[in-house]
């Protein structure tokens, strides 16, 4: 029972409550900003950084997909910009010729753009800030729900082990009292 209460006190009360001169508030609500900052730092340092994102975008597979998407977009724009009186077969032929020529340069253009894009990303994007702002934007109820989704099995395990440990300590104390009382009589 006390372990269940202890787990609940991680989150509640959401707002400070004065009780016999003491102010009580759940650990998560009280330290929300510190926790969100720490989680943001861990995400940025250990999980994903702007460099990781840029490296992923620069991968051969991503570059091929980007090149195809850009080529398709160019092809579509060429088709849309040709006058209506031009036959569809001519539109396709012209757009194919132009797109094929441009498509040869797309990887180099993307690579060059990625250099500038990467510098801009490093100057403007902070995964730490994004994570921190996102966590701080959640209601305390939603934050509790998310933490419980991630750690409910572990918290239940703590409750169970705490109960077993409490029982064993109580049993040892009862036996100690029994033997001390028996020795004194």
Residues 143, 137: Cα–Cα separation, whole Å: 9
Instruction: Output the pTM of the full model.
Output: 0.66
Cβ neighbours around 26 below 10 Å, total: 20
**pLDDT by residue for the chain (185 residues), tens digit each?**
677 777 777 888 889 888 898 888 888 899 999 999 999 999 999 999 888 988 898 888 998 898 889 889 999 999 999 998 989 999 899 999 998 888 888 888 888 888 888 899 989 999 999 999 999 999 999 998 998 888 888 878 887 888 888 889 989 999 899 888 877 76
How far is the C-alpha of 130 from the C-alpha of 33, rounded, in Å? 13
**DSSP SS3 for 126:** coil
- The secondary structure of 145-181, three-state, reads HHHHHHHHHHHHHHHHHHHHHHHHHHHHHHHHHHHHH
């Amino acid at each position: 029972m006390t372990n269940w209460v202890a787990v609940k006190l991680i989150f509640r009360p959401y707002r400070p409550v004065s009780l016999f001169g003491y102010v009580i508030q759940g650990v998560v609500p009280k330290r929300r900003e510190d926790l969100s900052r720490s989680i943001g730092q861990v995400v940025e340092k250990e999980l994903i950084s702007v460099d990781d994102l840029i490296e992923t975008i620069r991968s051969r597979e991503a570059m091929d997909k980007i090149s195809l998407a850009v080529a398709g977009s160019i092809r579509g724009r060429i088709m849309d910009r040709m006058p209506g009186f031009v036959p569809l077969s001519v539109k396709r032929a012209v757009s194919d010729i132009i797109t094929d020529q441009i498509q040869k340069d797309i990887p180099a253009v993307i690579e060059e753009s990625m250099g500038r894009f990467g510098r801009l990303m490093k100057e403007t994007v902070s995964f730490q800030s994004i994570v921190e702002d996102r966590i701080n934007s959640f209601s305390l109820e939603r934050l509790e729900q998310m933490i419980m989704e991630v750690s409910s099995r572990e918290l239940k395990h703590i409750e169970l082990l705490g109960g077993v440990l409490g029982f064993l300590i109580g049993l040892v104390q009862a036996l100690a009292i029994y033997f001390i009382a028996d020795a004194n009589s």
